[in-house]
């Protein structure tokens, strides 16, 4: 068994479902695609996407001795559903449990520590979403799956309910050369289902029209009218394009208990959010990915859902 194979075996034992290795060569074609996307302003409020985009495609700019990129995918699907209730707001599946940054980073750090124990000269950098890495592009290069028309990574074994993280390593490892073919075919389910038409063409999302972007990243005191009028009950994030994806018929329950819904909640009471204090907010969302939108954003989202609900309008 090669050392690359031993790394993959260890990663699975740590809890990852898919692992691939890519050479740390720059992502030239993907970088061109990113720059074109940025030039159109499709990144919306995500200003950090436009800062030093070359770092996102060249790992040596993040870690000068980069030779290999280990890419890991962690299944986060839990077999629960959001109820449709006009008094409650739906939460995106990825944010039901503990903050995935913490969970994925912990596992990657364990893997890096194991690698160092076997190869004392090894040095590496752990990347989990917040680092300027093109996670989905690296997952494709490492053979984990393909990027679907909704712009999410799709794996044949698990669908799209996966988190991605990387270790940039100073070791030359056997790279995975095989790529997974794009299996979206003629399907347009995600484009057809998006209530705001945020998927402006296959594989291209205009974040300014995306419910997830608006309810999580936008810091404006009011949601854009097109978003507000088409929330379809979504309070934090949106899973519509993934829910309708035929490849998610292969979804499997995760073995990671920390991704189970906190307090068994996949929706939140809107009045409860509006009455929340900074103290109760801090307690409820400690170590949750949902804290990203801040209390002010949560109250804005709850108010938008209430104002668009005839039953709630009667109460006002």
pLDDT at 55: 85
DSSP for 202-270, please give it: TTEE-GGG-HHHHHHT--SSS--HHHHTT-TTEEE---HHHHT-GGGGG----S-GGGSPGGG-SEEEH
pLDDT at 56: 85
Residues identified as active-site: 129
144/225 same-domain check = no
57/122 same-domain check = yes
Helix (H) or strand (E) holding 56: helix 54-57
159/196 same-domain check = no
pLDDT at 313: 39
9/158 same-domain check = yes
- Give domain status of residue 175, yes or no: no
- Give domain status of residue 286, yes or no: yes
Q: Which of 169, 204, 222 represents a domain boundary (last residue)?
A: 169
- Give domain status of residue 184, yes or no: no
102/244 same-domain check = no
- Give domain status of residue 180, yes or no: no
Per the structure, the complete domain to which residue 118 belongs is given by 3-79+97-169
The pLDDT tens digits along the chain (316 residues) read 899 999 999 999 999 999 999 999 999 999 999 999 999 999 998 888 888 788 888 999 999 999 999 999 999 999 999 999 999 999 999 999 999 999 999 999 999 999 999 999 999 999 998 788 999 999 999 999 999 999 999 999 999 999 999 999 999 999 999 999 999 999 999 999 999 999 999 999 999 999 999 999 999 999 999 999 999 999 999 999 999 999 999 999 999 999 999 999 999 999 999 999 999 999 999 999 999 999 999 999 999 999 985 444 344 3
Q: How many CB atoms lie within 10 A of CB 23?
A: 17
Number of domains present in the structure of the chain: 2
Q: CB within 8 A of 111, min separation 6: which ones?
A: 7, 10, 11, 14, 16, 70, 72, 167
């Amino acid at each position: 068994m090669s050392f690359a194979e031993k790394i993959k075996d260890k990663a699975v034992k740590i809890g990852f479902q898919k692992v691939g290795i890519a050479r740390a060569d720059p992502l030239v074609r993907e970088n061109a695609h990113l720059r074109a996307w940025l030039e159109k302003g499709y990144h919306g409020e995500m200003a950090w996407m436009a800062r030093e985009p070359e770092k996102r495609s060249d790992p040596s700019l993040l870690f000068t001795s980069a030779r290999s990129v280990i890419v890991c995918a962690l299944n986060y699907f839990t077999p629960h559903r959001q109820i449709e209730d006009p008094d409650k707001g739906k939460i995106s599946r990825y944010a039901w449990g503990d903050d995935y940054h913490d969970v994925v980073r912990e596992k990657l750090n364990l893997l890096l520590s194991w690698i160092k124990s076997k190869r004392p000269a090894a040095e590496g950098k752990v990347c989990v979403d917040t680092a300027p890495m093109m996670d989905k592009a690296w997952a494709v290069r490492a053979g984990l799956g393909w990027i679907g028309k909704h712009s999410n990574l799709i794996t044949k074994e698990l669908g799209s309910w996966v988190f991605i993280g990387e270790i940039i390593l100073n070791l030359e490892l056997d790279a995975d050369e095989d790529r997974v073919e794009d299996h979206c075919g003629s399907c347009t389910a995600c484009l057809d289902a998006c209530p705001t038409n945020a998927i402006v063409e296959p594989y291209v999302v205009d974040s300014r029209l995306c419910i997830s972007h608006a309810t999580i990243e936008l810091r404006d005191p009011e949601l854009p009218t097109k978003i507000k009028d088409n929330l379809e009950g979504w309070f934090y994030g949106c899973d519509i394009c993934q829910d309708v994806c035929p490849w998610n018929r292969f979804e499997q329950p995760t073995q990671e208990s920390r991704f189970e819904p906190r307090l068994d909640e996949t929706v939140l009471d809107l009045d409860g959010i509006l009455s929340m204090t900074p103290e109760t907010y801090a307690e409820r969302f400690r170590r949750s990915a949902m804290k990203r939108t801040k209390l002010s954003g949560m109250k804005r989202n709850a108010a938008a859902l209430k104002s668009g609900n005839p039953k709630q309008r009667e109460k006002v």
